[in-house]
């Protein structure tokens, strides 16, 4: 499968160095985005979603320490490439739409300037780049795009700004589009509009998409595969169909139970389940979900479960799972390359 | 924008008026009759009275103030008590020297301080960053008159690299620039460190902002990210500060003029205040306050020009 994956993250571990100690944001996380598919990432806030996708473009903040693993984008290990090679890859092979459109655009440059700048690789006249930008703005539903190019980000509403951010990402026509909760910072109506836009664009955009969202309904609708993150580790992954119809991990089950309409309903927030998110300052002993798990038993507190996958790539990290899952051995080891040499984060 | 500018000009005028009112009041508070002090112990009562009239001191304070302002708007700041020359002319002779000095001091501080701050922010915690950090703190805490004195002693008196006193031959630009080097260096030195620290801090803040991450996510060249995406924002607090910095720089220029015996506003006020030459002192202070206020105004308008968010809220 990895040969056909545009993004292949294996055994990624990330700590944040903070005054209070090390935050273990990601522990041995693996994730694949097969070419042409849409993969969703779901998890409570603080579960490491943003860290994971920022690592995909090595955009982590300076206090992040990559402990090990690899991030292979289009066949190249992002974590070990030179800053120049990294810069060449960003915006060409993959781009990102960030969570909060009120801060993700430069406030003192017109959006036209910003949209022209990101085309700096193309050797075409500026007027042509401007036309392209206007066309893309029209596509994402910005009225009167030719004049609006001369406006600054603060002259647009939040929803419009997110449309612009999406237009910018699409303008690069990347192999992989990464979106980090693109609707979370918006109000309900704006969110509905952006969701509508995403639906529309999905059919036009031919690259792969890695999509982080709280919105289970949207994930179910847009994605082919889903990865459930819990406390910095993958709790469950699988195809949307398998995972939503036959959730294996008690955490996934709890999430879906809270969401009565299941796949149909578009819910704004991830369902809340009882209990607290674990403190990531201390590496959990045993299963991280154990304190909140309704099915917890003695072994869970002692031993961390490994991700066990079946032949369809549906896997869950739970001690109960081997009994449920088919006897077939998973197509790939869920752990393994996680013990690679530590990679120094490189400031670029 | 127009409304904003008018508002700022009105404020500037108000500041000038308040400053002058305070100054006029001070004349009354400072002990001793200016006229008798100026004429010495052997002056007759008539002579003193004549001088008092010439200085306008016979009139009530409010009247003096009114006359001063009424004349000031027509460009007439009164007449020098001793030379009888128009104060405006005297000031216009001295002002260019001071402006050149302050401008040169500020100019080299900007030229060195801002790139240094950027470099420190980009190469945070590098050896160079630490060195500039230490030097900056050192120069910031050094009073500029002290720097001026040491510069004079070391480079002019001891090493004889630069001239020690004066502003150079009139009309000889090279000579004038040559005389400008040391005093400008002295008054700008502290600002180099200050600007470097300020730009470093705001640059670090901006570099951590989300939109810079966006720019990088699109693989923009680092030089473009720094200059166009980060510096444009990081420079804003510095521009605001520079408007205020001119005040400090002008007072630095006053000391430098005394130390290097350069003609200029500072030397003028110093000499004439000692002689109780009130019209000249008043006029000079008014012009200085005016320069200060104008600089702040320019800085504010510049910020509005650079930051569309500010522009819109005007
Ligand atoms: N720059 C940072 N410094 C320290 N801790 C961080 C930083 N960014 C994120 N974290 C921590 O890492 C964990 C994962 O964060 P994040 O990836 O942002 O989660 P999510 O996107 O799922 O809400 C959280 O506990 C968060 O507090
Ligand atoms: Mg997040």
In a 10 Å sphere around its CB, with 0-12 CB exposed, 13-18 middle and 19+ buried, how is residue A192 labelled?
Answer: middle
Q: Give SS3 for A45.
A: coil
SS3 content of chain A, % helix, strand, coil (to 5): 35, 25, 45
Q: What is the mean pLDDT of residues B83-92?
A: 87
Amino acid A146: pLDDT: 94
Residue-wise pLDDT for A100-116, tens only, equals 999 999 999 999 999 99
Contact A5, A175 (CB under 8 A): no
Residue-wise pLDDT for A116-132, tens only, equals 999 999 999 999 999 99
Q: From the CB of A286, is ligand 1 less than 6 Å away?
A: no
Amino acid B211: pLDDT: 95
Residues B34 and B274: their CA atoms lie apart, in Å, by: 10
**Higher pLDDT pick, B126 / A192:** B126
Does the distance separating the beta carbons of A155 and B217 come in below 8 Å?
no
Nearest-CA residue for atom 6 of ligand 1: A16
Q: Percent of chain A at pLDDT above 90?
A: 57
Q: What is the mean pLDDT of residues A13-36?
A: 94
What distance, in Å, lies between the first and last C-alpha atoms of chain A? 31
Residues A29 and A234: their CA atoms lie apart, in Å, by: 6
Band of the pLDDT at A337, cuts 50, 70, 90?
Answer: very low
DSSP codes of every residue in chain B:
-HHHHHHHHHHHHHHHHHHHHHHHHHHHHSSS-HHHHHH-TT--HHHHHHHHHHHTTTS-HHHHHHHHHHHHHTT---B-TTT--BHHHHHHHHHHHHHHHHHHHHHHHHHHHHHHHHHHHHTTTSHHHHHHHHHHHHHHTS-HHHHHHHHIIIIIIIS--S--SS---TT-HHHHHHHHHHHHHHHHHHHHHHHHHHHHHHHHHHHTSHHHHHHHHTT--HHHIIIIIIIHHHHHHHHHHHHHHHHHHHHHHHHHHHHHT--SHHHHHHHHHHTT-HHHHHHHHHHHHHHHHHHHHHHHHHHHHH-HHHHHT-
Amino acid A329: pLDDT: 42
Of B213, B221, B308, the CB nearest to A152: B308
Contact A165, A136 (CB under 8 A): no
Residues A255 and A251: their CA atoms lie apart, in Å, by: 6
Q: Percent of chain B at pLDDT above 70?
A: 94
Q: From the CB of A213, is ligand 1 less than 6 Å away?
A: no
Residue-wise pLDDT for A10-23, tens only, equals 999 999 999 999 99
Contact B209/A at CB under 8 A:
yes
Least confident segment among A29-38, A60-69, A257-266, B207-216 = A257-266
Taking all residues of chain A, what is their mean pLDDT, rounded to a whole number?
85
Which one, of B16, B1, B6, lies nearest residue B292 by Cα? B16
Nearest-CA residue for atom 27 of ligand 1: A46
Contact A185, A28 (CB under 8 A): no
Residue-wise pLDDT for A50-66, tens only, equals 999 999 999 999 899 99
Least confident segment among A71-85, A326-340, B141-155, B265-279 = A326-340
- Chain A residues whose beta carbon lies within 8 Å of the beta carbon of residue B219: 87-92
Amino acid B199: pLDDT: 93
Query: Looking at chain B, which residue has its C-alpha nearest residue A121?
Result: B220
Query: Residue B40: is its pLDDT beyond 90?
Result: no
Which one, of B303, B307, B113, B118, lies nearest residue B225 by Cα? B118
A269 CA → ligand 2 middle, Å: 13
Of A61, A91, A103, the CB nearest to B219: A91
Q: What is the mean pLDDT of residues B3-11?
A: 79
Amino acid A326: pLDDT: 47
Dihedral of CA B252/B258/B261/B266: which sign?
positive
Write down all domains in chain A, each with its CATH number in brackets: 5-229 (3.40.50.300), 252-324 (no CATH)
Residues B164 and B179: their CA atoms lie apart, in Å, by: 8
Q: Percent of chain A at pLDDT above 70?
A: 88
Query: Residue B165: is its pLDDT beyond 90?
Result: no
Please name the residues between 172 and 191 in chain A that touch chain B, using a CB distance below 8 Å. 172
Dihedral of CA A54/A78/B120/B302: which sign?
negative
A89 CA → ligand 2 middle, Å: 23
Q: Can you list the alpha helix ranges (DSSP code H) found in chain A? A: 49-56, 83-89, 111-117, 126-139, 145-148, 158-171, 188-204, 216-222, 240-245, 250-257, 298-302, 321-324
Phi first, then psi, for residue A178 (nearest 5°) are -110, 130
- Chain A residues whose beta carbon lies within 8 Å of the beta carbon of residue B210: 98, 100, 103-104
Tokens of A329: 């051995």
Q: What is the mean pLDDT of residues B2-22?
A: 81
Amino acid A336: pLDDT: 39
Q: What is the mean pLDDT of residues A242-251?
A: 91
Q: What is the mean pLDDT of residues B285-291?
A: 86
Q: What is the mean pLDDT of residues B163-170?
A: 70
Amino acid A1: pLDDT: 45
Band of the pLDDT at A3, cuts 50, 70, 90?
Answer: low
Residues A104 and B244: their CA atoms lie apart, in Å, by: 32
Band of the pLDDT at B170, cuts 50, 70, 90?
Answer: confident
Which one, of A126, A131, A210, A115, lies nearest residue A163 by Cα? A115
Contact B101, B183 (CB under 8 A): yes
Least confident segment among A25-29, A80-84, B303-307 = B303-307
Band of the pLDDT at B17, cuts 50, 70, 90?
Answer: confident
Q: What is the mean pLDDT of residues B177-195?
A: 83
Closest listed ligand to the CA of A48: 1
Specify the DSSP class assigned to residue A286.
S
Taking all residues of chain B, what is their mean pLDDT, rounded to a whole number?
83
Ligand 1 closest atom vs CA A49: 22
Write down all domains in chain B, each with its CATH number in brackets: 2-73 (no CATH), 94-205+234-312 (1.10.3720.10)
Does the distance separating the beta carbons of B209 and A92 come in below 8 Å?
no
Residue-wise pLDDT for A155-209, tens only, equals 999 999 999 999 999 999 999 999 999 888 788 788 888 888 888 888 888 889 9
DSSP codes of every residue in A85-125:
HHHHHBTTTEEEE-S-TTTSS-TTS-HHHHHHHTTTTS-S-
Band of the pLDDT at A331, cuts 50, 70, 90?
Answer: very low
Nearest-CA residue for atom 17 of ligand 1: A48
Query: Residue A236: is its pLDDT beyond 70?
Result: yes
Amino acid B32: pLDDT: 67
Band of the pLDDT at B82, cuts 50, 70, 90?
Answer: confident
Tokens of A337: 């390359």
In a 10 Å sphere around its CB, with 0-12 CB exposed, 13-18 middle and 19+ buried, how is residue B203 labelled?
Answer: buried
């Amino acid at each position: 499968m990895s040969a056909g994956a545009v993004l292949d993250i294996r055994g990624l571990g990330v700590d944040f160095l903070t005054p209070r100690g090390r935050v273990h944001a990601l522990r041995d996380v693996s994730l694949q985005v097969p070419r042409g598919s849409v993969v969703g990432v779901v998890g409570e806030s603080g579960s490491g979603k943003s860290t994971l996708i920022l690592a995909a473009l090595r955009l982590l903040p300076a206090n992040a320490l990559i402990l090990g693993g690899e991030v292979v984008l289009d066949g190249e290990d992002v974590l070990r490439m030179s800053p120049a090679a990294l810069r060449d890859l960003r915006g060409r092979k993959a781009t990102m739409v960030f969570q909060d459109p009120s801060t993700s655009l430069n406030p003192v440059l017109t959006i036209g300037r910003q949209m022209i700048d990101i085309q700096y690789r193309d050797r075409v006249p500026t007027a042509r780049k401007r036309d392209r930008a206007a066309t893309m703005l029209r596509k994402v539903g910005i009225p009167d795009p030719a004049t609006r190019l001369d406006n600054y980000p603060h002259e647009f509403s939040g929803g419009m700004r997110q449309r612009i951010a999406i237009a910018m990402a699409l303008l690069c026509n990347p192999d992989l589009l990464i979106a980090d909760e693109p609707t979370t910072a918006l109000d309900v109506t704006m969110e509905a509009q952006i969701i509508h836009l995403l639906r529309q664009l999905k059919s036009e955009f031919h690259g792969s998409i890695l999509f982080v969202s709280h919105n289970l309904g949207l994930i179910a609708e847009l994605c082919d595969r889903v990865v459930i993150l819990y406390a910095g580790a993958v709790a469950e992954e699988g195809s949307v169909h398998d995972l939503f119809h036959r959730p294996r991990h008690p955490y996934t089950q709890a999430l879906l139970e809270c969401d009565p309409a299941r796949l149909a309903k578009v819910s704004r927030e991830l369902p809340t389940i009882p209990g607290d998110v674990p403190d990531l300052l201390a590496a959990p002993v045993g299963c991280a979900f154990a304190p909140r798990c309704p099915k917890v038993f003695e072994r869970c507190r002692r031993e961390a479960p490994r991700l066990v996958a079946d032949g369809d790539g549906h896997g869950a990290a739970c001690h109960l799972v081997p009994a449920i899952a088919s006897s077939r051995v998973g197509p790939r080891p869920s752990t393994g390359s996680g013990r690679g040499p530590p990679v120094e984060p490189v400031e670029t | 924008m127009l409304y904003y500018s008018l508002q700022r000009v009105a404020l500037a005028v108000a500041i000038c008026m308040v400053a002058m009112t305070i100054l006029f009041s001070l004349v009354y508070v400072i002990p001793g009759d200016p006229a008798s002090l100026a004429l010495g112990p052997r002056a007759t009562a008539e002579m003193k009275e004549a001088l008092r009239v010439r200085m306008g001191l016979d009139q009530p304070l409010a009247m003096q103030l009114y006359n001063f302002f009424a004349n000031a708007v027509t460009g007439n700041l009164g007449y020098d008590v001793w030379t009888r020359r128009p104060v405006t002319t005297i000031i216009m002779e001295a002002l260019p020297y001071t402006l050149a000095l302050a401008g040169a001091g500020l100019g080299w501080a900007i030229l060195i301080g801002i790139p240094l701050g950027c470099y420190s922010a980009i190469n945070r915690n590098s050896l160079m960053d630490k060195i500039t950090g230490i030097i900056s703190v050192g120069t910031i805490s050094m009073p500029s008159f002290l720097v001026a004195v040491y510069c004079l002693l070391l480079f002019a008196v001891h090493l004889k690299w630069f001239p020690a006193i004066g502003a150079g031959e009139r009309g000889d630009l090279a000579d004038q620039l040559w005389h400008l080097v040391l005093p400008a260096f002295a008054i700008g030195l502290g600002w180099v460190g200050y600007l470097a620290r300020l730009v470093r801090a705001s640059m670090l803040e901006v570099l951590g902002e989300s939109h810079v991450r966006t720019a990088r996510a699109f693989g923009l060249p680092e030089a473009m990210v720094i200059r166009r995406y980060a510096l444009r924002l990081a420079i804003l607090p510095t521009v605001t500060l520079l408007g205020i910095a001119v005040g400090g720089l002008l007072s630095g220029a006053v000391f430098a003029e005394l130390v290097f015996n350069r003609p200029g506003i500072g030397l003028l006020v110093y000499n004439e205040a000692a002689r109780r030459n009130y019209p000249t002192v008043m006029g000079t202070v008014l012009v200085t306050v005016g320069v200060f206020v104008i600089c702040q105004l320019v800085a504010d308008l510049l910020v509005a020009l650079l930051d569309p968010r500010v522009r819109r809220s005007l």
